[in-house]
Structure formats: structure tokens, C-alpha cells
Structure 1
Amino acid sequence: MRAPLCFTLLLAACGGPTPDVFQGYVEGEFVQLAASQSGRLDRLMVRRGQVLTRDAALFVLDAVDERAAQQQAQRQLDAATAQLADLQTGKRPQEIDVIRAQLEQAMAQARKSSLQLARDEAQLRSGFVSQARFDESRAQFEADAARVLELQRQLDVARLPGRDAQIKAQAAQVEAARAALAQADWRLAQKSVRAPVAGLVFDTIYREGEWVPAGSPVVRMLPPGNIKIRFFVPEPRLGAIRVGQRLRLSCDGCAKPLVATVNYVSPHAEYTPPIIFSNETRAKLVFMIEAYPEPANAAALHPGQPVTVAL
């Protein structure tokens, strides 16, 4: 880091125009990947320094309770759905057959009572039966006729589905069970975490077998698009930099100059950061600038690496 700074000072001492060359460093915006549920780290499928594609499996937490809850929710949904179907279809065919047989038996009994009533009525006029006998025959006929009517109504009701209120209530139970299953599915899915973007595995925080609290990062990723350059310019040179401007970067180990694009110019001044100050510039106020390198070259840069920026 001293060589580029000395080179800048030498150019200034030669009496020529001061070049627009500044010292900066690489910074990474890490993606902290965690599970929303707590659990024991069952499997860790990545290692530090590994480059991953998007949707690559990262880690899995123990999910015994979540699987059991999912199965329970599925069974409850199946039961609620079956009950709704039962209400919508009425009684089973076998039950309807039983009522139909009872109705036929009652109709036969009613016909028998009708014939008996007719005979007793004729004999009553001839004086061969008493009034009490005739009244008894008539009461039996009316009872048998009422039984026929009752079974006919039962047969009509058996063919009907459940009442509207019952069906609506059961349909609500089905929806509630379906929502509980969706929640159980979500909780189970949260125990397996995949990479949301492609990038470098910068670090792993836990080892297999350790307990991971909910929301605690297990893997730190650094996508190429999250690598940026941060440098500082004095106030007199601030007007030479604008958002969208392209810059040239050089660093130790860089095979060739790289290109970056300015995406942020700080509106606030600050003192020169200690990591880049010199005795000549430590009291000066500077403005922070951030620029993103081209995605194809970002992987060659590392957080904390010093760079030289040229306009």
C-alpha cells in the first residue's frame, strides 16, 4: 500500500499537475444466511472458499418435530375433507336400501289394515261386530298409514345432503386444516436453507451437531455483485467525480487494470480514515466514494484489499 502512495507524492513533488489517483480498499457486503427456526445443525453441505451457484443446498437443521407436525396436519385435513364429502352426499346407498325395505313393509301392513277396516265396516252395518271393534280397526289403519308417510319422508331426507349451515361449517374446517398444513409445510421447509444467489462461501459459523438459535447466521456468502471499492477524495477534487463515472483500479496481484463504476458519492465530509492517512493529509477533510467493479472482475478482489483508484 505504501508504493502507490509514494508514487503519488513523487508525482506531486515534480511540479507537474496532480494526477487524480486515490487510495482505497475493497469492501464486501455479506449475505448472512440463517434459518427462521431453531434446531440442531444436522448437515452442513458447504465449506469456506467454495463457489456456489444459485439455489445450491447450504445446510439442514434437525426437523423431527416439524415432520411430525406436518403429518398431523395432513391427517386432520384428510379427516375434515372426508366429513365434508359425507355431508354433501347424504346417506350411503346401503342405508337408503334399509329405509326402502322398511317402507315396503309398512305399506304392506297398511294395505292389510285397509282391508280389515273395510270388512269391519261392512260387518258393523250388518251388526256382526261391535263399534269398539270397528274403532280399533280404524285406529290400526291410521297408525299404519302414518308409518308409511313417516318412512317416505325418511327416504326423502336420506337422499338429501347435509344442511347448508352444516356444510358451510365443515367447509370452514377444511380450509382451517389446509391453512394449518401450509404452515406446517413452511416450517419444515425453513429447516433446509439454499443459496439465494451465486457467490463465494466466505465463512461458516457453526459445525454439525451444534445448536443453532432461530435467526442466527450459519453461512456468510459474498456474491460478486456485493463487492465494492471505497475510497476518499479531497473536497477540491469532488467535482471531478459523479455517479455513473468509470474508474480504473490497480492492486497488488491484479494482472491488469480493472474497471469500476461510481454508484455513490457521500454528501458529508469526514476526516481522512486512519487506514489511508499520511502525515501530510491527516488533517484534511475528504468525501467517501463507492464504486462497483465489473462483475467479471469482482471475484479477483477481496474484502480489505488495498487498491489504487485513477479517474
Structure 2
Amino acid sequence: MPALFLTNIKNDAPSPRFQGYVEGRMIYPSAEEGGTISQMNVDAGDDVQRNQTLFRQDTTLKDTQRQQAEARLREAQARLRNVRAPQQRPEEIEVLRATERRAATAVNLSALELARQRELFRKGVTSQALLEQAEAAHQRDSAAHAEIRQQIEAAGIGGRKNEIQAAEAAVDAAKAALAEVDRRLTKAEVKAPRDGRVEDVFYSAGEMVPAGTPVLALLPGGNLRIRFFVPVPSLSALSLGDEVLVMCDGCPPDIKARIAFIAREAEFTPPVIFSEEERSKLVFKVEARLIGNEHALPVGLPVTVAPTVDSE
């Protein structure tokens, strides 16, 4: 794209002017899941702030799913409490404890009787049969006492370890399911990721939007560029950071931009070796960021760019 040359009043040297246009690097907010838009909060041309709500999806189905997830969590928690609880009621356990106390008394009495029979047998006063009878009675009472103690221990133990672990895993799964529904409910309200201006709106409230489909176009602050093309002879006069003037029909005066990008490769370069004359026809893409009010120019507007006097 050839450059246009005007006379520089300061030094009477040709002042190049380059043709270009305003480019906006848009972001396109969308919903993670398909659904109907219940509320559209912005319109084209609106300025928005970061985290401002752009639109909401209908959440009737998700609200129902959340109620179901809450119910499943309550059920899983109740099941866990049941398997952790003692197998018998407290009053039943107290009856067993009373029985255990009677059995312990019987053990003590039979132990005393056994000791007495052994002493009498040693003195020759009692018979072998009475001694054996006392030993059997003590063994019987001891076994009965041990049985009662095992019953008390079993009555106070909840479900088996593997059953408790399974119930705990079910509670964790129910909590995760509820958290996922909450996350989906949060994502149904789409917010602005950055400050910017709404350039276009593609859907309205009441319309069905597929998952991942852009709902609007947002131009964040700092994403507006002046893209222009510079021929080879003028390329050496420009550097990163240089200021340039931006001009167009009906635009405010003294709009400036700062060069932020210069391409390393020429545009539309055919695979041939160029002569000096052909080489001068090549152009390089250059991009500059507006200084000041970047919303002063609409996206796609053709502009003319010229170096400032200081950058020449």
C-alpha cells in the first residue's frame, strides 16, 4: 500500500502519511451451558465495569437440581449417623450393664467358695468332688461374666468399619454434587471479565443460546489499536514507542497513538527475489495504541496516520 506524502512545514521535507483503520480486539462472553437468557442487563454502547452482570440464564431446572442435591446430602448424612450410632438404645445397654454387675458379683462369690473348698481339701475336711464342683461353678460364673461384657461392647459399637467408610464416601459425594450445582448456578450469571464497552449484542432476553456461543462483543480498555501499513522506505523512520497522529473525517483533532508493534515480515510477500524497485512496494503492518480516550474512534473506521514532528 503506497504512502502519501505531504510537505512538512518545519523542514520542507516530505512527511509520509500511512493508511490504516481502527481495530478492536474483542472478547466474547458466553455461557458454559446452553439455556434461555432470562435477563439481558446491557446494550450496545454501554460502558461496563469488571464483575458487572452482563446477562443471566434461566435457572429453573438448576434450582430443582439443587433441591435434589440437598435432599441427597441430607439422606447420606442421616445414613452416616445411623451406622455410627450404637446398635442398641441406651436403656437396653443399661440393662446389660446391670446384668454384668450381677455376673461380676457371682464371679466374686464363686471365687471365694473355690478358695474355701481348696483350703478345706488341703486340710482333708472336704472331698475331691466338692472341690471340683466349686471349680466348675467359678468357671461358669466367669464365662457368664465375660459373655455379658462382650454383649455390652457389641451394643455400643456402631456399624462395621467398611460400612462407616462407605457412608462417609456417600456424604462426600453428595457434598461434591451440591457444590457442582452451586457452581453451575453461579455460572448462569455471566459477568464482565474486564472494564470495557459493549460493542454488539447478539441475543436478547427470551432467546435460547447454545453452550459456548458468544452472547455479546466486549471491547476491554486498552484493546483498541490503530493498524496501518508502512512501505519499506519509510519503515526505518518508525520505532516502537514513537507517537503518531491519527486523522480521519469528522474525528477530534490531535488524536495521538503510540506504536506498540511493528511486523517482522512484509504483507503479501510472493516467493521471488525483488529488485530495488519491487522491494519499495512491500508494506509492513504496524499497530499503535491510542493515547487518552480510546473510545473516541469506532472500530473499523479508516484513518490516516502520520509521524509526529518529534518522532521524525
TM tier relative to shorter chain: 0.7 to 0.9
Would you say 1:100 and 2:94 are equivalent positions?
yes
* Structure 2: distance between partners of 1:111 and 1:171: 42
Distance 1:290 1:110, change over 3 A: closer
Identity %: 36
**Structure 2 counterparts to residues 98-177 of structure 1, below 5 A:** 98-105=92-99, 108=102, 146=143, 148-160=145-157, 162-177=159-174
- Tell whether the 8 Å contact from 1:41 to 1:59 is kept in structure 2 after alignment: yes
Q: 2:86 aligns with which of 71, 86, 91?
A: 91
Distance 1:183 1:166, change over 3 A: same
Q: 1:308 aligns with which of 282, 285, 304?
A: 304
For 1:18, the equivalent position in structure 2 comes to 14
Distance 1:167 1:110, change over 3 A: closer
Q: State the shift of 1:182 in Å.
A: 2.0
Unaligned runs of 5+ in 1: 119-130, 273-280
Distance 1:75 1:204, change over 3 A: same
* Structure 2: distance between partners of 1:246 and 1:61: 45
AA partner of residue 232 (structure 1): F
Measured against aligned partners, the alpha-carbon deviations of 1:58-86 in whole angstroms (never above 9, x if no partner) come to 11111222222222223323333444455
Q: How much is the aligned-residue C-alpha RMSD, in angstroms?
A: 3.6
* Structure 2: distance between partners of 1:289 and 1:143: 103
Q: State the shift of 1:217 in Å.
A: 1.1
Would you say 1:184 and 2:181 are equivalent positions?
yes
* Structure 2: distance between partners of 1:95 and 1:19: 98
AA partner of residue 269 (structure 1): A
AA partner of residue 86 (structure 2): K
Where do 4+ consecutive residues of structure 1 move more than 4 Å? 85-88, 105-115, 138-148, 160-164
Secondary structure of 2:249's partner?
coil
Secondary structure of 1:299's partner?
helix
* Structure 1: distance between partners of 2:202 and 2:246: 32
For 1:33, the equivalent position in structure 2 comes to 29
Aligned positions, number: 274
Distance 1:104 1:144, change over 3 A: farther
Q: State the shift of 1:10 in Å.
A: 5.4
Q: 1:251 aligns with which of 233, 236, 248?
A: 248
Q: State the shift of 1:143 in Å.
A: 7.5
* Structure 2: distance between partners of 1:242 and 1:28: 22
Unaligned runs of 5+ in 2: 114-128, 270-277, 308-312
Q: State the shift of 1:227 in Å.
A: 0.8
Q: State the shift of 1:39 in Å.
A: 0.8
Q: 2:235 aligns with which of 234, 238, 244?
A: 238
AA partner of residue 228 (structure 2): F
Q: State the shift of 1:146 in Å.
A: 4.9
